[in-house]
Amino acid sequence: MDDLSVGEEIKRIYDYSGNGDPEWRRLGAIGKAGNILELCASYPHRSILEIGAGQGAILNRLSELEFADELYALEISENAVSRIGERKIGSLRECRLYDGYHIPYGDNTFDLALLSHVLEHAEYPRKLLYEAKRVARYVFVEVPLEDTIRQKRDFTFDQVGHINSYSPKSIRRLVQSVGLRVLRQTVTNPSYIVYRYRFGKKAFFRFYVKQWLLGALPAVATRLFTYHCSLMCEK
């Protein structure tokens, strides 16, 4: 397993050669960073490694909030590493290219490792979790909950590259299967500003129906709709 690397089809999806939508990423990062603060603030977080940092939207938000003294990042895409460098993120100490599975840092280098919306893309998620656990005492994981009754029966590659689907139970069992202890777990709806940006006038209905259902019948909500699940874990 030591010769693992990200498959070429997956790597092409994350080339980041296109501009994408930076405003969409910025708005999404506000909620994702908020979940990190909510679950991780009471635990050591002076040094943070984000594994699979994309174009740096979450890193930038954490730096704006002065959440960590030192931020580090890893990416499989050379374009992503370049774009993160161009952002001039204040707390960022280093952003490095890696093969997607072998983290180029020593044991217990960091207080906290972040895997925010990464495991749904990983061909070997346990390998990545073992590596995150090796380099950090605490590991934060967030995934979209796409294992719903609305999901298609058969798998096909799509433009966002999600190859794994999770429910609140399956993601919890996954992190536990590598020896991580779940300290906190939450399910959240993406923020209203994200819905408004994406759906315009239809945002109000879409957001508040999902928000009400999550509060009233959470088990039903996560079987019907996609939410985000965040876990704070300790090794």
DSSP string, 134-199: HHEEEEEEEEE---STTS-SS----TT-------HHHHHHHHHTTTPEEEEEEEEPPPHHHHHHHH
Portion of the chain with pLDDT greater than 70, in percent: 91
User: 8: pLDDT confidence band, cut at 50, 70 and 90?
Assistant: low
Count of domains forming the chain: 1
Q: Is the pLDDT confidence value at 132 over 80?
A: yes
The domain containing residue 89 runs over which residues? Answer: 8-234
Lowest mean pLDDT among 77-86, 183-192, 205-214: 77-86
CATH code where residue 63 lies:
3.40.50.150
pLDDT of residue 4: 61
pLDDT of residue 17: 45
List, for residues 81-126, the tens digit of each pLDDT value: 999 999 999 999 999 999 999 999 999 999 999 999 999 999 999 9
Rounded mean pLDDT of 202-231?
97
β-strands 110-116, 136-144 pairing? parallel
pLDDT of residue 6: 67
Q: Where are the beta strands (DSSP E) in the chain?
A: 47-51, 70-75, 92-97, 110-116, 136-144, 181-188, 228-234
pLDDT of residue 85: 94
Q: What does the alpha-carbon distance between residue 127 and residue 122 come to, in Å, rounded to a whole number?
A: 9
pLDDT of residue 20: 66
In b/e form, how buried is each residue of 196-227, taking b as 16+ CB within 10 angstroms?
A: bbeeeeebeebbeebbebbeeeeeebbeebbb
List, for residues 14-59, the tens digit of each pLDDT value: 565 445 688 999 999 999 999 999 999 999 999 999 999 999 999 9
Q: Does residue 141 lie within any of the structural domains?
A: yes
At 101 the three-state DSSP class reads coil
pLDDT of residue 53: 96
Q: Does residue 173 lie within any of the structural domains?
A: yes
Output the average pLDDT for the chain: 93
Rounded mean pLDDT of 156-178?
93
Rounded mean pLDDT of 65-78?
96
Write the CA distances from 83 to 22, 53, 95, integer angstroms.
11, 11, 10
Q: Does residue 2 lie within any of the structural domains?
A: no
User: 5: pLDDT confidence band, cut at 50, 70 and 90?
Assistant: low
Pick from 227, 66, 65, 31: which is nearest to 148 by CA? 227
pLDDT of residue 3: 65
pLDDT of residue 176: 98
Q: Does residue 134 lie within any of the structural domains?
A: yes
Q: Does residue 1 lie within any of the structural domains?
A: no
